Chains A and B, each alone.
Chain A
Amino acid sequence: MNGGFSLTRLGALLSKEFIQMRRDRVTFAMMLGVPLMLLVLFGFAINNDPKSLPAALVATSNDNYTRAIVSALEMTGYYRFEHLVANTEEAESLMARGDVAFVVTIPGDFARRVARGDNPTILIEADATDPSVASGAISTLGTVASQALLREQGKQAEAAEEQASRLQVIVHRRYNPEGISQYNIVPGLLGVILQMTMVMMTSMALTRESERGTMENLLAMPASPAEIMLGKVLPYAAVGAVQVLVVLPAAKYLFGVPFIGSLTLLLFSILVFVMSLVLLGYTISTVARTQMQAMQLSFFFFLPSILLSGFMFPFRGMPEWAQALGEVFPLTHFIRIIRAVMLKGAGFSDIAIEIGALWLFVFVFAGMALLRFRRTLD
C-alpha cells in the first residue's frame, strides 16, 4: 500500500490506455494495417539477386559460336539482350544512360580464333555503380561461356573429361538452396516492422500526456513510476502480438518461407524482443519533451538500426567497429534469432546468447526509463 506496486492501479492505467487506443481509429488502423502493407510491399519488392537484367550486345559477326555464347548467357537468366548495336560508342552511351546493365562485346574474329585454337576473348562490361546488381550475373559467366563454346565445337566428351580432371569444388547453399531473397528478407521484415511501430508508438507515450496537459493530473495522483511505465508499454506489446499473428502466417503462406524451427521458441524470442522495443520507446519518451522530439529521436534510431543490423546488408561485410555498433541494436539480435529459428531450425542453446542480449536490453531500458522518469514537473 505504501507506494509500492498495485495491480488495481496498473489495471486502471491499462484499461485507460486501451480505450484511448481504440478511440484513436487512425492510429489503431495503422498499427494493424501498416505491418501487412509493409510486409507485402517489401516482401515482394526487395530482391538481392536480380535476374533478367537489360544488356546490349556488340557483335559484328553472326556466326555459330557467337550465337551459342549469347544464348548461353540468356539461359543463365541474368541477361536479357535488348539492344544489338554495331559499335562500342553506341553501347557506351546506352550504359551511361542506364538503359543497360551490361555490354557484351564479341569481337568479329571470335569464330576464327576458336577455329584456329587461339585464345578467344569476350568483353563483358558491367555497370558496377550498384555492385550487387552485377555480382550474380558476373559470377556465373566463366563456366557458362566456356561450356557453351565446347558444346558448340562438338567437344562434349572433352568437356566432361576436362571437368573430371579438374579440382572439384562442391558448393551447398544450405538453408536456402535456391538463394531466394524472400527467405532472408521476410523474417527480418517482421523485426523491422515491429521495431518501427513499437518504438514509435511508445516513444510518444509520455510526451502525449504532457502535451495534452494530463501529465500534471496523472502525477498528482498516486501512481508509481513502475505502474505508469507498465501501463504504457504493455498495451503496445499486445499490439505487437497481434502484428506477429498477422505477419508470421503471411510469411509462411504468402511467401512460402520455410519454418523448420520451434514456434514456441520463436514466440518466446519475439516476446522478449517486443518488450525491449516498447521499453526503448518509453525510455525515449522520458527524454523527449514534445511528440515532435520523440519522433525525431525514434527516426534517429531507426536508420542505423536498419542499416547496421544485417537486415539489408551483410553484417559480416561491415568493419569491426560497425559490427560492434550493430550489436547495440535489439534488431540485430532478433534478426539472427528469427533467421536461425525459421530457416535453420536452431534450438534454444544455439540462440541463447542472442536471447540473453535481448533480455539485457529489456533490463537496461527499463532501468533507464525508471531512472529518467520525472515524478515531478521540475
Chain B
Amino acid sequence: MNAIDVRNLVKRFGDKTVVDHVSMSVAEGEIVGFLGPNGSGKTTTIRMMCGLLTPDEGEGQVLGFDLRHEGLKIKREVGYMTQKFSFYEDLTIEENLQFVARLYRMSPVDKHVADTLADLGMTSRRKQLAGTLSGGWKQRLALAACIMHKPKLLLLDEPTAGVDPKARREFWDEIHLLARGGLTVLVSTHYMDEAERCHRISYISYGKLLATGTVDEVVKNAGLTTFVLRGDTLNEVASALEGRDGVDQVAPFGTTLHVVGSDKDKLETALADIRARPGVTVEAGETSLEDVFIQFMAGSKDNMP
C-alpha cells in the first residue's frame, strides 16, 4: 500500500486554478521531494493531503484513508509541519509540547514531553518562550512537535527556509533517520541540494505536475544537453550566445559558463563559431537538476494563466 495515492487533484481559488490535476504516489518509507517555484501550488497540494483543504476535484487515499471522507483519521496519523512557525510563541517550549501531547491524547504526557525535550537537547531551555527561539531552533521544535505522536506520514512544507547550512544538514540527517524507521516523508523545498537528498522528486509548476522520478531519471528524461565553456572572454561569449536558436540557457558558474539546450544538434550548430574562437574551450558537461528546473520554469511560463 502506498502512503499517498492521490489522483487528479484540482483546487481553484476563485477563477484561478492553483492545483491542476495533480496525481501523486508515495510509497511507504520513501522520502519524496516536492519541488517547484513560488506560488506553484506546493502548499495547496500538501494542505489537501492532510485535510486542511477540500479538493474541488479528484480523489485518493492517504495512509489508506479516503481523502474526502476520512479527514479526521488522516489528521491523527499525519504530522504536518507548516511553512511558517505555527506553534504558540507566547507559550514555552515545554508548554507547546504539552499542548500537542494532550491534543493527541498521549499518555503519560509528562514522559512524552520529557523524552522529546531530551531528544531535542532542550531540557534546560524548556521554560523559554517559543517566540524567542532562533529560526533553526524553531524549526527543530516544530519538527519534534510534529513527530511526537508517531505519525506514519510526515508532510513538511519548506521546512528549511531561513535555516543555516549546519542546521539544515542536521535536519536532513534526522529525516533520513526517521524514514529508516518506516516513516514516509513528503517535503517541499526550493533547494537543489535538498532535492538530491530525496529518494524521488516531483516537480510542480503553475499547478501542473511536470516531472516525477529519481533525480537521475528526471535529469535524463528532461533530455537536455549541456556544454561547459571555459576561457577568458566568457562575458562576451555569453552575450553572443544569448537568444541564439537552440540555446535555452546561458548561466555563469564561477569561472565557467553552462550552455544548455533541449536539441543537441541545434546547440552544436549554435556553438560552432564559439569553438573556433581562440582561448575558449567547449566540452560536453553534466546536466544538473538545477538546469532542468530552470528549463521547466522557462517552459511553463508560456502556459502561465
Taking a contact as CB atoms under 8 Å apart, the answer to whether A221 and B90 are in contact is no
From B44-52, B201-209, B277-285, the one touching the partner chain is B44-52
B19 to chain A, nearest CB (A): 13
From B101-109, B168-176, B220-228, B253-261, the one touching the partner chain is B101-109
Report if A217-B86 is in contact (Cβ < 8 Å); known contacts: A9-B102, A16-B95, A222-B104.
Answer: yes
From B57-65, B77-85, B239-247, the one touching the partner chain is B77-85
Taking CB atoms, residues of chain A closer than 8 Å to B102 are 8-9, 11-12
Number of A-B contacts (CB under 8 A): 77
A88 in the interface, Cβ–Cβ < 8 Å?
no
A135 in the interface, Cβ–Cβ < 8 Å?
no
Taking CB atoms, residues of chain A closer than 8 Å to B91 are 16, 19-20, 23
B156 to chain A, nearest CB (A): 12
B296 to chain A, nearest CB (A): 28
Cα A215 to Cα B82 in complex, Å, equals 11
Taking CB atoms, residues of chain A closer than 8 Å to B100 are 221
* Max count, chain B CB within 10 A of own CB: residue among A12, A15, A221, A376: A221
A241 in the interface, Cβ–Cβ < 8 Å?
no
User: Does more than half of chain A's interface fall in helix, strand or loop, or is it mixed?
Assistant: helix
Taking CB atoms, residues of chain B closer than 8 Å to A2 are 72
Taking CB atoms, residues of chain B closer than 8 Å to A213 are 82, 84-86
Report if A220-B50 is in contact (Cβ < 8 Å); known contacts: A8-B102, A16-B95, A20-B90.
Answer: yes
Q: Is the interface on chain B under 10, 10 to 19, 20 to 34, or 35 or more residues?
A: 20 to 34
Taking a contact as CB atoms under 8 Å apart, the answer to whether A214 and B75 are in contact is no
Cα A25 to Cα B68 in complex, Å, equals 43
B76 in the interface, Cβ–Cβ < 8 Å?
yes
Cα A375 to Cα B50 in complex, Å, equals 12
Taking CB atoms, residues of chain A closer than 8 Å to B84 are 213, 216
A303 to chain B, nearest CB (A): 32
Taking CB atoms, residues of chain A closer than 8 Å to B71 are 375-376
Taking a contact as CB atoms under 8 Å apart, the answer to whether B105 and A216 are in contact is no
A214 to chain B, nearest CB (A): 5
A6 in the interface, Cβ–Cβ < 8 Å?
yes
A3 in the interface, Cβ–Cβ < 8 Å?
yes
B94 to chain A, nearest CB (A): 11
Report if A214-B88 is in contact (Cβ < 8 Å); known contacts: A221-B75, A222-B104.
Answer: yes
B34 in the interface, Cβ–Cβ < 8 Å?
no
Report if A376-B72 is in contact (Cβ < 8 Å); known contacts: A20-B88, A214-B87, A221-B103.
Answer: no
User: Does more than half of chain B's interface fall in helix, strand or loop, or is it mixed?
Assistant: loop
Cα A212 to Cα B54 in complex, Å, equals 22
B137 to chain A, nearest CB (A): 17
Taking a contact as CB atoms under 8 Å apart, the answer to whether A12 and B103 are in contact is yes
Taking CB atoms, residues of chain B closer than 8 Å to A378 are 53-54
In the complex formed, the residue of A with least CB distance to B44 is: A377
Taking CB atoms, residues of chain B closer than 8 Å to A215 are 86
A223 in the interface, Cβ–Cβ < 8 Å?
yes
Taking a contact as CB atoms under 8 Å apart, the answer to whether B89 and A219 are in contact is no
Taking a contact as CB atoms under 8 Å apart, the answer to whether B53 and A376 are in contact is yes
A1 to chain B, nearest CB (A): 8
Taking a contact as CB atoms under 8 Å apart, the answer to whether A24 and B75 are in contact is no
Q: Is the interface on chain A under 10, 10 to 19, 20 to 34, or 35 or more residues?
A: 20 to 34
Taking CB atoms, residues of chain B closer than 8 Å to A12 are 98-99, 102-103
Query: B105 is contacted by which of A8, A24, A377 (Cβ under 8 Å)?
Result: A8
* Max count, chain A CB within 10 A of own CB: residue among B47, B76, B88: B88
Taking a contact as CB atoms under 8 Å apart, the answer to whether A376 and B51 are in contact is yes
Taking CB atoms, residues of chain B closer than 8 Å to A375 are 71
Q: Which of A1-48 contact B (CB under 8 A)?
A: 2-3, 6, 8-9, 11-13, 15-16, 19-20, 23-24
Taking a contact as CB atoms under 8 Å apart, the answer to whether A222 and B86 are in contact is no
Q: Which of B161-183 contact A (CB under 8 A)?
A: none
Cα A219 to Cα B75 in complex, Å, equals 9
Cα A217 to Cα B52 in complex, Å, equals 9
Taking a contact as CB atoms under 8 Å apart, the answer to whether B72 and A23 are in contact is no
Q: What string of 1s and 0s marks CB contacts (under 8 Å) between A275-301 and chain B?
A: 000000000000000000000000000
Cα A12 to Cα B104 in complex, Å, equals 10
A205 to chain B, nearest CB (A): 14
Taking a contact as CB atoms under 8 Å apart, the answer to whether B53 and A23 are in contact is no
Report if A9-B103 is in contact (Cβ < 8 Å); known contacts: A220-B75, A221-B75.
Answer: yes
B155 to chain A, nearest CB (A): 9
In the complex formed, the residue of A with least CB distance to B51 is: A376
Taking a contact as CB atoms under 8 Å apart, the answer to whether A212 and B52 are in contact is no
In the complex formed, the residue of B with least CB distance to A24 is: B90
Report if A6-B53 is in contact (Cβ < 8 Å); known contacts: A16-B91, A377-B47.
Answer: no
Cα A113 to Cα B73 in complex, Å, equals 97
Taking CB atoms, residues of chain A closer than 8 Å to B75 are 220-222
A231 to chain B, nearest CB (A): 10
A-B contact pairs, 21 of them (CB 8 A): A3-B72, A6-B105, A8-B105, A9-B102, A9-B105, A12-B98, A12-B102, A13-B103, A19-B90, A19-B95, A20-B88, A20-B90, A24-B90, A213-B82, A216-B52, A220-B78, A221-B104, A222-B76, A222-B103, A376-B54, A377-B47
Other than the given A8-B105, A214-B87, A220-B50, 13 more pairs (CB < 8 A) read A8-B102, A12-B99, A13-B103, A19-B95, A216-B52, A216-B82, A217-B82, A219-B52, A220-B80, A220-B82, A375-B71, A376-B51, A378-B54
Closest 7 A/B residue pairs (Cβ): A12-B102, A217-B86, A220-B80, A213-B84, A213-B86, A23-B90, A221-B103
